[in-house]
Copies of this chain bind each other. A is one copy, B any other.
Amino acid sequence: MTDLELKKFKKVLKDENLRLTPQRVEVFREVCNSEEHREAEEIYLALRKKDLNVSRSTVYRTMDILYKYDLVERMDIGDGKWRYEHWLNCHHHDHLICIRCGTIVEFTNTQIEEIQKDVAEKFNYQLVRHVHQLFGLCKQCRKMPISVN
């Protein structure tokens, strides 16, 4: 977690009349210090492992705040769980997801972004956000034979 990140978090809490608690800081630190796309439960367990016992409720509540005030990005790959990634200083991107091993890689494509705008305009929709996920087999998984189990 950089000083800038902590500063931004503190600013959000202040601006929104939310209190700066050690639990909130630990959750935010945990998110900032990982490049993965993790579920709330994983963040909760990671904190426990470090003997930072923040309750499950508080982790969920803090993730809600971080998402609401745009300090993290979140994605849903269709398994009923939100996955979070730290977002500050990053740019918008979409995802390639391996359906076998779960590896998630990020991509950006300005051409697609442009066409999306055209499509929304054509249908008279005011575009707010989008979800674009490519599911497939990653380089490693393509090579492996299909398991019968």
Contact = CB atoms under 8 A, between A and B. Distances in A.
Given A120-B96, A132-B130, A125 B137 contact: yes
B135 A132 contact: no
B138 A124 contact: yes
A134 interface: yes
A147 interface: no
A111 interface: yes
B131 A136 contact: no
A53 interface: no
Contact of A125 (B76, B98, B125, B127): B98
Given A78-B76, A133-B131, A115 B111 contact: yes
Contacts of A111: 115
Given A125-B137, A126-B136, A128-B137, A109 B120 contact: no
Interface of A: 76, 78, 80, 96, 98-99, 105, 107, 109, 111-112, 115-116, 119-120, 122-139, 142
18 contacts: A78-B131, A80-B80, A96-B120, A112-B115, A112-B116, A123-B138, A123-B139, A124-B139, A124-B142, A125-B136, A126-B137, A126-B142, A127-B134, A127-B135, A128-B135, A128-B136, A130-B134, A132-B132
